[in-house]
Structure 1
Amino acid sequence: MNDWLETLQKPGARGGLNRYAYLLLVLVALAAMLPGFFTIPAMDRDESRYMQASRQMMETGDFIDIRFQDEARHKQPVGTYWAQVITTTPFGGAEAPVWAHRLTSLFGILAAIIMTGWLGSRLFSPQVGIAAGLVLAIALSLQVEARTAKTDALLLGFGMLAQISLAMLALKITEKRPAFIGWPLALWAATAVCILIKGPIFTMVTGLTLVGFIALTRDFDLLRRIRPGFGLLVVIAIAAPWLVAVTIVTDGAFLAEAVGWSMLRKVSEAAENHTGPLGFHLMLSPVTLWPAAALLALAVLAAWKNRSDRTIRFLVAWIVPTWIVFELITTKLPHYVVPTFPAIAILMGLALKDVPGVLSGLKQRIFHWVVAAAVIVVSGVLIALPIAAHIEFNGEIGLDAWIAAIAGVIGLITVAALAYAPSLRTLGVAGVGAISVYGAMFGVVIPNIDAMWPSERVGRVVDRLEGCETLSIATLGYREPSNAFYLGTDALLADNADAAADVLVSDPACGLAIVDVAEREGFDAALAARGISVRPLATVSGYNLVKGDALELALLVTEGSEVRLGE
């Protein structure tokens, strides 16, 4: 084991990590992220909206305007949709499965892990780089993002390139002459791509890092080294063509809605009811950074101990201003502070190099154990979650729940070991525990709780229907975006009984209504007013996770319909 660790920590041919260290990070990341990646159905709401909008780009050939069915989707720029078009094209394009859309997120997280390992090794040592990469590879929040086809994982990948470039320029790890174009070009090109993915969000992170670092070091020459004039031209060249095109196509509606929704509204009010108290992200960090959150106190102590170091000041400037901004804005979601995680991971790796020095006094040890205790409690919750989920959705505890609970016990033990004896070795052990938890939770429990996935189950029933080449479909009482992904772009997500009934009136031979029991009385009244009677083909029960409502969905056709349920 010692020989193996020594091999991993040997510098590569050009310094930094060697190929075995990079291979380890990739293998650990894939072992953690692939369970459930291919089997978890489309999730509501954001993932399904992104996947459906990307599919519609391929169906219509319109790669400028973003639409979800007939509605304009102007909340985020086009980058993620284009990326999903690229990853799904080899796997069927508009007919590609869910996992093909998720490849953008998987690649984004992998890139962030590799770049974090590279940066940690360049700033400090290969040991720090390996530890930092492992922290990200097993972090719970990144596991969720890697399995979700939306913006944040892809944004982290390109954002890391921007942050690395800024670090190289700020810490003068490259040529000092402003004529050197490589890192400024990388900085501004990555910034432009981030704008195309999620507007100015990561640009804010990079800008706050820049301002914070200058405030801590008084290095105003950094403003010259980043070459802002050149950078503006790069950003315009990359981002402006689509921004101009979409502004023309939408008569300015995209910019008005994107700026109003993504920026101003999130600051002033809780968009879509996503809110939390001041300190929300700090209180949630034992969960979002699990299992390596057991090292959080060590990271803080290491930063304080080395606070005069220029490199530490850069990492602090990366973390603190961004974290404060996201604590202050009204809208809060757990993944908002993920852009700070690579810097936190590097500080954790640094702390592991000098644990006795970091935990040199009683106050430091108490601080460490208070934080570690919170993380151990989170580990205990992971044991109970699969059992609670089975009781909630299935009314009983299945074998897969017990498997996940056993994996949770392993995770708890390994986290306790990491807290008790922090080292690169015990971090690797915690990684094994985390992989077992993720394998059981994402790979076994979540995909197999059928009640969680009513849209996917209805889609399977619809795929068995025979008699009509094309169906006219309406849903009533269950309008989540995953319906459009599984039932087709033209499916009507009706907001009233009359609209759903009109679908059967307009196509009595091939019309299909999917109606929740809570809406059945109003739907029957609408049918009676139109002189239509219906017969059931199938019933699907489930649970709307977004609203917390139980569902009983009846698949209904007219009495004279040609539609029948196949084998």
Structure 2
Amino acid sequence: MTGDLRKTLNTREWGALIAILLLALLPGFFSIPVMDRDEARYSQASSQMMETGDYIDIRFQEDPRWVKPAGIYWMQVATSAPFGGPDAPIWAFRLPSLIGVLIGGILTAWLGARIIGAQGGMAAGVMLGLTLMAAVEARTAKTDAMLLAAGVIAQAALFFLLTQAKGSPRPKFIGAPLIFWAATGAALMIKGPIVTLVSVSTIAAYGIWTRDWGVLKRIRPLFGVLVAAAIALPWLIAINIKTDGGFFMESVGHALLGKVAESDDSHAGPFGYHTLLLPITFWPGTLFVGLAAGLAWTKREHPAVKFLICWLVPTWLIFELIATKLPHYIFPAMPALAILAAWGIKDAAELWSKKWPRRIHLAFLGLFVLATAILAAVPMIAADYLGTTMMSAPNVLAIIFGLIAIGAGIMAARRPSALPRLAVLMAAGIGTYWAVFQGAIPALKPLWPSYYVAQEVGKLTGCEEIMATTAGYREPSNVRYLGTRTYLADTGAQSAEFLLGHWECGVAIIDVTEQQGFLAAMSEEGVAPYPVNIVSGHNYVKGDDLDLTIFILEEGQLNWPSAQE
């Protein structure tokens, strides 16, 4: 990239940025079925809000969903209501996540442009939006993509407040302080105090480093807390009144504090977990992490670099230290890394002339090659594991695009600021996403048993509403596809009892592991259920193979198409 004194992107560049991000994020957005477990739970809870008209309490069937605030559910309601409401396709519930990543990429570009120029900002926004982390989160109907958006807004405002010269007059509240606190309040409604944690650690680190504590006045905390409270408190008060304090105990006691002391839901990991995953989660930007490190060290006295380091490093350390670990926890820190990496690309010639930055850069080139090879091979490995076609067109294309990405990465590593080489790398990354997300993942049919069971159940006629039960396969995607009143039984005998209680319009989906108990319970009542079809699949949450038989009662009203012919 050449020197660029412009501090904002022009209209054509903004359009190009959005187009590039959409090209990378849309493959598979409409075609990947509902994913277990988080996406199924979030989208189902949002559906139930529309079904019941209760937008205060959050429920998955009758179970409370009090681990997160209501903000993301309201957003999903807003985006799915025009497309069928509770019956909207899953992509409608994913729209807030797609929008969140787009906002994150656009604001990263905006902030990067003000720090290192328009071309550098463009590179930072593209780099963030093309990360595998963004690719996954934009396609998943849950909180983390929209949390990224709120976090970048807050941190961008904080940048202007922190980097003001000492002794500068306090800014007017209507401006950066208001934006900072409004984003903080919105983030509280999306996922609690995660963004607050990022902001507080940034302020503390920057204050200790610079000994400039004037920021505590510049952020205008008195009015700011009132703004954040005005956004978050009404619902927090309403939900705690309605649940008699249950939401506070669950969300703070379990979902927040519980994750710090010990791993939650078996999501444990060693210190260094996020660092070890970085070559994968930040791919294809992995190639430029070495440049980011070199830039951060050599220009560490630059106020903007100080801010980016104080945004990135404390956040990273905090999430490395807490007991519960999931890859997306580090997402709010990635915009800072993307801007540092884009700055490193801009100053690559200077960094390359120094021995140790060059060595780090080459080390990350090796990690980039390894990560690319792994990602390109995953669809073929998964196909082999699941017993589907290994040499399908999408799987082969993933390998081809992976090889192109490796070649482009090696070329770009030698001249990181050469735009044509970066363009080839970017195109290879987008091509990989098209092959994997649009082609390979939806084609792995064993991964989506709930979807294919619902397709078979949808062929049944004779009842307006079908009452379903499952045994041996309790994942929440069953509820998303088969309806809120679906009974996820613990045993086959429980499913038998449910089917007998809904004999007219009941259907039972029984895995082979529970079929003996189910048939024995039915036999005791003198009833022989009629098996209409079998769906085989794989429960990727538990790692179990499935053989799901769909049963109806011949005495009921339901009819299978073959029985009518």
TM-score of the alignment, normalized to the shorter chain, above 0.5: yes
CA–CA separation in structure 2 for the residues paired with 1:259 and 1:401: 43
Residue 388, structure 1, aligned to residue 360, structure 2: no
The answer as to whether partners of 1:537 and 1:564 remain within 8 angstroms in 2 is: no
**Contact kept? 2:290, 2:361, Cα under 8 Å:** yes
1:400: Cα distance to partner? 2.6
Greater Cα offset, 261-270 or 318-327: 261-270
Establish whether residue 469 from structure 1 lines up as the match of residue 461 from structure 2: no
Task: Give the CA deviation at 1:514.
Answer: 0.3
Which residue pairs with 1:113 in the alignment? 105
Matches within 5 A, 1:408-487: 408-423=402-417, 425=419, 426-487=421-482
The counterpart of 1:403, out of the listed 380, 386, 397, is 397
| 1:469 maps to amino acid | E
The structure 2 residue matched to 1:564, chosen from 536, 541, 559, is 559
Using the size of structure 2 for normalisation, the TM-score is 0.96
Of 296, 299, 313, which residue of structure 2 is paired with 1:303? Answer: 296
Distance across 2 between alignment mates of 1:173 and 1:444: 52
Q: CA deviation at 1:415?
A: 2.2
1:259 to 2:259 alignment: no
Mapped partners of 2:409, 2:382: distance in 1: 23
Give me the whole-angstrom Cα distance separating, in 1, the residues matched to 2:450 and 2:260.
33
Instruction: Give the AA of the match of 1:349.
Output: A
Q: In 2 relative to 1, CA 197–55 (structure 1 residues): closer, same or farther, beyond 3 Å?
A: same
CA deviation after TM superposition for structure 1 residue 474, in Å:
0.5
Q: CA deviation at 1:126?
A: 1.2
Residue 533 in structure 1 maps to residue 525 in structure 2: no
Deviation of residue 9 (structure 1)? Answer: 5.4
Q: Distance in 2 between matches of 1:44 and 1:189?
A: 32
1:18 to partner: Cα distance = 1.2
Residue of structure 1 in register with 2:44 after alignment: 52
Q: How many residues align?
A: 559
Amino acid corresponding to residue 479 of structure 1 in structure 2: R
1:274 aligns with 2:267: yes
The amino acid across from 1:525 in the alignment is A
Amino acid in the other structure paired with 2:444: I
Once residues 227 and 145 of structure 1 are traced to their aligned partners in structure 2, the CA distance between those partners, rounded to angstroms, is 33
What is the match of residue 497 of structure 2? 502
CA contact (8 A) 1:534 1:558 kept: yes
Task: Note the C-alpha offset of 1:336.
Answer: 0.8
- Worse-matched range after superposition: 63-72 or 134-143: 134-143
Deviation at 1:147, TM superposition (A): 0.3
Contact 1:208 1:318 (C-alpha < 8 Å) held by counterparts: yes
Q: Which moved more, 1:60-69 or 1:354-363?
A: 354-363
Structure 1 position 205 matched with structure 2 position 198: yes
Q: Distance in 2 between matches of 1:204 and 1:254?
A: 20
Q: State the shift of 1:529 in Å.
A: 2.6
Secondary structure, counterpart of 1:465 in structure 2: coil
Instruction: Provide the C-alpha distance between the structure 2 equivalents of 1:361 and 1:168, rounded to a whole number of angstroms.
Output: 31
C-alpha deviation, 1:564, in angstroms: 1.7
Measure, in 2, the Cα distance between the counterparts of 1:164 and 1:399. Answer: 43
Structure 2 match to 1:185 = 178
The whole-number CA distance in structure 2 between the counterparts of 1:212 and 1:228 is 18
CA contact (8 A) 2:492 2:510 kept: no
* Superposition map of 1:231-246 within 5 A: 231-246=224-239
Tell whether 2:356 aligns with 1:363: yes
Q: Which moved more, 1:504-513 or 1:42-51?
A: 504-513
| 1:106-134: CA deviation from partner (whole Å, max 9, x where unpaired) | 00000011100000111221122111111
Distance apart, 1:395 and its partner CA: 4.2
Over 3 Å counting, the alpha-carbon distance change for 1:424 and 1:275 in structure 2 is: farther
Distance 1:273 1:151 in 2: 20
Q: Give, in whole Å, the separation in 2 of the partners of 1:493 and 1:365.
A: 56
Provide the residue aligned with 2:32 in structure 1.
40
Secondary structure of the residue aligned to 1:41 is: coil
- 1:117 maps to amino acid: A
* Corresponding position of 2:323: 330
One-letter code aligned to 1:271: D
Structure 2 residue matching 1:107: 3-state secondary structure: helix
CA displacement 1:382-408 (0-9 Å, x = unmatched): 232121122122343223321222222
Amino acid at match of 1:230: F
Provide the C-alpha distance between the structure 2 equivalents of 1:136 and 1:424, rounded to a whole number of angstroms: 19
Distance of 1:19 and 1:176 partners within structure 2 = 33
C-alpha offsets along residues 328-349 of structure 1, whole Å, 9 cap, x if unaligned? Answer: 1111111111111111111111
With structure 1 as the length reference, what TM-score do the two structures score?
0.96
SS class of match (2:537)? strand
> What code does the residue aligned with 2:191 have?
K
Q: In the TM superposition, what is the alpha-carbon distance from 1:178 to its structure 2 partner? A: 3.6
Deviations 1:333-385 (A, max 9, x none): 11111111111111111111211211223332222111210111111112321
1:410–1:436: 8 Å Cα contact kept in structure 2? Answer: no
Report the residue type matching 2:396 in the other structure: W
CA distance in 2, matches of 1:203, 1:161: 12
Q: Which structure 1 residue ranges, 5 or more long, are not aligned?
A: none
1:503 deviation in Å?
1.3
Counterpart position of 2:483:
488
Distance 1:488 1:445 in 2: 28
Q: Distance in 1 between matches of 2:176 and 2:191?
A: 22
**Most deviating of 279-288 and 175-184:** 175-184
Quote the residue 2:544 is aligned against: 549
Question: For each residue in 1:469-511, what CA deviation from the matched residue of structure 2 results, as whole angstroms up to 9, or x when unmatched?
Answer: 2222100000101000000000001112232111111122211
2:21 is matched with 29
Offset at residue 412 of structure 1 (A): 2.0
Tell me which moved more, 545-554 or 130-139.
130-139
Give 1:427 deviation, angstroms.
2.6
Offset of residue 235 of structure 1: 1.2
Aligned partner (choices 117, 136, 150) of residue 142 of structure 2: 150
Question: Contact (CA 8 Å) 1:10, 1:17: kept in 2 or not?
Answer: no
Instruction: Supply the distance in 2 between the matched residues of 1:396 and 1:444 (Cα, whole angstroms).
Output: 12
Amino acid at match of 1:257: E
Q: How big is each residue's C-alpha offset from its partner over 1:88-116, in whole Å with a ceiling of 9 and x where there is no partner?
A: 11111111101000000000000011100
Higher mean alpha-carbon deviation, 422-431 vs 342-351, is at: 422-431
1:424 offset after TM fit, Å?
A: 5.3
Q: 2:70 matched to 1:78?
A: yes
Give yes or no for contact 1:10–1:18 (8 Å, CA) kept in 2.
no
User: Match of 1:37, SS?
Assistant: coil
Whether contact under 8 Å (1:292, 1:427) holds in the other structure is no
Match for 1:61 among 20, 38, 53?
Answer: 53
Q: Is 1:319 equivalent to 2:340 in the alignment? A: no
Whether the 8 Å CA contact 1:134–1:428 is kept in 2: the answer is no
The one-character-per-residue Cα deviations of 1:451-472 (angstroms, maximum 9, x if unpaired) are 1100010111111111122222
How far residue 10 of structure 1 moved from its aligned partner, in angstroms, is: 7.2
Contact 1:534 1:557 in 2 (8 A): yes
2:353 is paired with a residue of what secondary structure?
coil
Q: 1:551 is paired with a residue of what secondary structure?
A: strand
CA separation in 2, counterparts of 1:546 and 1:146?
Answer: 20
